Structure 1
Amino acid sequence: MRDSGTTRRALLAATAGSGAALALGGEARAYDPRAGAPPAYGGDARLRRIIAGMTLEEKVGQLFVMRVYGHSATAPDQADIDANLAEIGVRTAAELIARYRVGGIIYFSWAHNTRDPHQIADLSNGIQRASLGLPRGLPVLVSTDQEHGIVARVGKPATLLPGAMALGANGSRTDARTAGSISGAELRALGIRQDYAPVADVNVDPANPVIGVRSFGADPNAVAGLVAAQVTGYQRASVAATAKHFPGHGDTAVDSHYGFPVIDHTRAEWDTIDAPPFRAAIRAGIDSIMTAHIMVPALDPSGDPATLSRPILTGILREELGYDGVVVTDSLGMQGVREKYGDDRVPVLALKAGVDQLLNPPSLDIAWNAVLAAVRQGELTEARLDTSILRVLRLKNRLGLLDRPYVTHAGVDRAVGVAGHLGAADRIAERSTTLVVNERQLLPLSRVTQKRVLVVGADPASPSGTTGPPTSVLAGALTELGFTATALSTGTAPSAAVIARAVAAAGEADAVVVGTYNVGAASSQRALVAQLLATGRPVVCVAVRNPYDVAQLPDVQAYLATYSWTDVELRAAARVIAGRVAPRGRLPVRVLDAGDPTVVLYPVGHGLSY
């Protein structure tokens, strides 16, 4: 099934604009949020004139989106200077831009780009000044992975929202759109104008190690509706949404960061399972689509990853689905795209396949020079580069970057982590929390007869939205709700001694809450839960990541799924445990029997309340 010609014409029309222009390379005006939406930069004719005035080296640079270490564009810490020199051969973001004229920069928390809101805004402004101060300088498209849930690069005090599978359990397209709008407004205020979200993969494999709760669920139509809603929310806030990972990464047991997944769907299965969310994103006017480093033989029998596949990116995405927006690769440092070709060939082959933005190569110098050489030697034409640069400039224009690239501290303070956003996040999380099991109506706990609560369990590495270990956050939230709760971290693989300590502590409690994390058949978390149940104390299990844990815990008395261990979801779980709110979430995925995967324990849509 193809999108209609009307849809394609509408998408093409949306890339054009008219209005005032920025004198590129000169002094850019500061963004004033009170001025309303920025004027459009102009139509394709003006953008083509910009491209015609660029050198070949500048054109090559515009195709790359690169990481860089440091909290400042010009004065990072010494450790970040050392990291930049070792990995990129430059000292700072400003030097990166001057040497390679990159069109985009991606922020990571581990690269120390996202310490606090004002610092992020200053970094964004410093990057724009560095680029616009060059001859023929263009604004930089700053991006990040702010999926929310378990993947968030910008942490508190920004608003952290429920992630995709939590929104799938919520089921409300309105809430998904609101979450996108809130996230978009805050990212925009920070100078981040491209978000690599939403995930459009349909998670049909419970063992999927890389997607899982990053997906909205296992029902293609439900996922499609939520993807479209989030696209609308982000892009109404003037932040480019990015549907990922095309052509669909939801049915694999291999993580493409470390291996080369093969998706064995037939073409008919791809049309039915994987394609609907991407079709919905395109109908919603998605600004960018990210590729997957996966092999799909039914779509391209060559053995190439989709990122390097012309039949997939040009034949299906461009020609069949009618998409003419920006296509960005997943990180070129991932093993899935490096399995078959060297780092010098990957960027060239990606461009030949139909890609527009080359994301985060392991060596920018190798990749940049490879593309440059490919043009000079005739493997790539300059016209091919111009096609991609035009798409990127259209996007920058549509986002207002070409006219107003800067942000202000006042704009940050008006948008980031404000009370209205935080309150909305709490309400959305409450509607996402899913009660899967509630034997003998164990929940809600009584603040009279079950006042003393022991919170034990897994404390995985904290995502950006968590102020502390999940056990401590959950215990603190229950204490605020009138319980006397204490926390005891038992980890993701508790030893016999740790389990014995938890069992002894349970003897002093009226009830026990256990946080579980990715429980497998060999996980010692199973023994922890079993021995706590043997104490006779009421035991409530809270799955703080995958909802599939319950399949490994057949005797559990009460079981909640939160889909992440960020504060907003843990606080919502505490309110459900305390009976302050009723659970309203419904499983967006099937939970299969651990011993017989042909048996469905809990179907899509299962969820209890009280």
Structure 2
Amino acid sequence: MLGVLLLLPWHAPAIEPVDFFTQKDPSVLAEELLSRMSDEEILAQVFMFGWVGADPSPLILEWIEKRRIGGVKIFGWNTEDTLRLARAVGSLQEGALRSPLKIPLLVATDQEGGWIRHVKGTTSESPGNMAIGASGFPQDAYQAGFYIGRELAALGINMNFAPTVDLYTNTRSVLIGPRSFGDNPSAAGILGAAFARGMEKAGVIPTAKHFPGHGDTELDSHGILPLINIPFETLWNRELLPYRILVKERIPAIMSGHLAFPLTKAGRTPASLSPYFITEILRKKMGFTGIVVTDDLMMNGATTPAGSLSRAAQLALEAGNDILMFSKTPFLTDPVWTNLLATMQQNPQFRRRVQDAARRVLELKLTYLRRPETPPFVPKEAEVRKRVPDKEGQAFFLQLAARSVTVIFNKNGVIPVKKEQASRVLFASPFEDFLSQGRKLFPGVRTWRFSYDAPERLEIEQQNLRLQAQQVDTVVITCANGYGTNLIEALRTSGKRVIVVSVLSPIYVERLPWVDGALAIYSYAPESFLVALSTLAGTIQPEGKLPFKGLKLTS
């Protein structure tokens, strides 16, 4: 009998076919997918690249089809044509889905609302986070996240680097400003959590940023590593409080920032490259179980301290980041790839760290990219035309703008402005939307357009503003930056009534205590301008409150 059995042909047990869409629990399936991936495919899952131009470059397509990278990042330079962007997303996903395991890409962008709107084209402009902070309603945050997410989903974008929960601690910050919900940590956490819930409802993965907090510095980590000299106790109870709230609310992703806190155990190491911040604080102390994605590793705030891009990438993974994000596409043989792959194959500890990161990325994809509300991998142009812009969302953003408009001060009742006196009023702004809507709402008003930011033209534009003001009794002028403040100074001794409409951060009004009236709208979205003009006309009663401690109005 034994001899008969030995003569029978032997067959290896059949291997069960498995791919991304196999119906299994995400954690179980992630392990099975990992077991069938090469070292190169595992490492590639932690890479996320941007590309230059409207259409995907041949190089990024090579990374997708030859290396099987985990994600792509859409920047403003990719997005002027909405339909073209949708086609680009579809072609990138088609390349990813041709792989044997059919693992789709994370397609991410920065669509925070307000000032930061990387996906342009026909998408809606919105009042932004500081306007939400001024309204103070979590429902506004939820709806903003939902409608922004719904437009992104129509384009096939399945991940958004928002909400921004940096506090407006340092009001001189040029990077954060109106991107913040305000300076109250609890409010920022609550509003950020509501925004994230709305975005998830729309099918898009939200990502809170910039951990552990970018709000207490005037410096921009794109160009330099900011050093924030506060003790850990202050950081824990202030900047980290929104993240503590979001972790309890199970935010699925957090972006690490290129910021150093010398008074903490991390010293001068950027938080994005620091095991203390990513592993000890975020993972262990706060209990975060989602994925951590770096801010752009090509920023000087990361590469300068590390010494090179490939070294920054290795340090970021060792610190506990799961996705390495790059704004541009490196060559296939760039050291950022070859060095990491060699280290992974030679160092068992680093290999385990890469496998852990890839496992987290796969679990995130398996959890969020197989749902009924998951954005389409290949968007249909007819659906894009139908859903972008989102008409319901635009109506909501107008309501949000109306709830957030804030009167900073109103001396002698100069607000509202009487329409019948429009011929004696000048509207001045660098924004044509403000001027054109102003002409409609105030027939006969004079308008004058000046530069947004042109220091070399300041003197001549101050002269022109004085000449324009001579023809009127009241000047209504928008202010979005320091240039606007300097220009408005030309009216200090004019004897005219001056009303400032603050666009973006209202902090610039601090230098203009002598003006007669000031209101804040926090955004240059058309809806915000309409609300500002309606407030000036007296048809809207402003209810918003400054979402940070009072302005210090000094001469």
Do they superpose with TM above 0.5?
Answer: yes
Pick aligned residue for 1:433 from 405, 414, 417: 405
Greater displacement, 251-260 / 474-483: 474-483
User: Secondary structure at 1:257's aligned position in 2?
Assistant: coil
Report deviation, 1:308: 0.9
The answer to whether 1:586 aligns with 2:549 is: no
- Hey, what does 1:46 align to over in structure 2? 29
CA distance in 1, matches of 2:224, 2:59: 32
The answer to whether 1:547 aligns with 2:506 is: yes
Q: Deviations over 1:166-193 (max 9, x none)?
A: 1111111101110000011111111111
Q: Percent identity?
A: 31
Report deviation, 1:566: 2.6
- Hey, what does 1:536 align to over in structure 2? 495
Report deviation, 1:361: 6.1
Pick aligned residue for 2:459 from 496, 520, 538: 496
Q: What is the 5 A alignment of 1:199-348?
A: 199-341=164-306, 342-348=308-314
Q: What is the 5 A alignment of 1:96-107?
A: 96-107=63-74
Report deviation, 1:526: 4.5
Report deviation, 1:594: 6.5
User: Secondary structure at 2:239's aligned position in 1?
Assistant: helix
- Hey, what does 2:420 align to over in structure 1? 448
CA distance in 2, matches of 1:361, 1:495: 34
Highest CA radius of gyration, 1 or 2? 2
Pick aligned residue for 1:476 from 425, 430, 436: 436
- Hey, what does 2:4 align to over in structure 1? none
Pick aligned residue for 2:341 from 367, 372, 378: 372
CA distance in 2, matches of 1:581, 1:257: 40
**Kindly tell me: are residues 433 and 23 of structure 1, through their superposed partners in 2, closer, same or farther at Cα, counting changes over 3 Å?**
farther
User: Secondary structure at 2:500's aligned position in 1?
Assistant: strand
Pick aligned residue for 1:517 from 470, 473, 480: 480
Do the aligned residues in 2 keep the contact of 1:106 with 1:144 (CA within 8 Å)? Answer: yes
Q: Which runs of 5+ in 1 are unaligned?
A: 1-20, 29-38, 74-80, 82-90, 460-469, 597-610
Do the aligned residues in 2 keep the contact of 1:94 with 1:131 (CA within 8 Å)? Answer: no
CA distance in 2, matches of 1:442, 1:379: 71
- Hey, what does 1:66 align to over in structure 2? 49
Do the aligned residues in 1 keep the contact of 2:131 with 2:521 (CA within 8 Å)? Answer: yes
CA distance in 1, matches of 2:408, 2:267: 44
**Kindly tell me: are residues 401 and 93 of structure 1, through their superposed partners in 2, closer, same or farther at Cα, counting changes over 3 Å?**
farther
- Hey, what does 2:323 align to over in structure 1? 357
CA distance in 2, matches of 1:216, 1:435: 18
Question: Structure 2-normalised TM-score?
Answer: 0.90
When the two chains are superposed, the root-mean-square deviation of aligned CA atoms in Å is 2.4
- Hey, what does 2:380 align to over in structure 1? 408
**Kindly tell me: are residues 41 and 147 of structure 1, through their superposed partners in 2, closer, same or farther at Cα, counting changes over 3 Å?**
farther
Q: Which runs of 5+ in 2 are unaligned?
A: 1-15
- Hey, what does 1:392 align to over in structure 2? 361
**Kindly tell me: are residues 565 and 421 of structure 1, through their superposed partners in 2, closer, same or farther at Cα, counting changes over 3 Å?**
same
Question: Structure 1-normalised TM-score?
Answer: 0.82
Do the aligned residues in 2 keep the contact of 1:121 with 1:190 (CA within 8 Å)? Answer: yes
Do the aligned residues in 1 keep the contact of 2:18 with 2:101 (CA within 8 Å)? Answer: no
Do the aligned residues in 2 keep the contact of 1:435 with 1:583 (CA within 8 Å)? Answer: yes
CA distance in 1, matches of 2:506, 2:500: 11
CA distance in 1, matches of 2:86, 2:92: 10
CA distance in 2, matches of 1:449, 1:263: 51
The answer to whether 1:556 aligns with 2:525 is: no
User: Secondary structure at 1:248's aligned position in 2?
Assistant: coil
CA distance in 1, matches of 2:425, 2:379: 46
CA distance in 2, matches of 1:287, 1:144: 16
Report deviation, 1:450: 2.9
Query: How many residues in Structure 1 have an aligned counterpart in Structure 2?
Result: 530
Do the aligned residues in 1 keep the contact of 2:147 with 2:390 (CA within 8 Å)? Answer: no
Greater displacement, 499-508 / 236-245: 499-508
CA distance in 2, matches of 1:40, 1:276: 38
Report deviation, 1:155: 2.1
Report deviation, 1:41: 5.8
Q: Deviations over 1:345-370 (max 9, x none)?
A: 11111111100000006663221222
**Kindly tell me: are residues 480 and 237 of structure 1, through their superposed partners in 2, closer, same or farther at Cα, counting changes over 3 Å?**
same
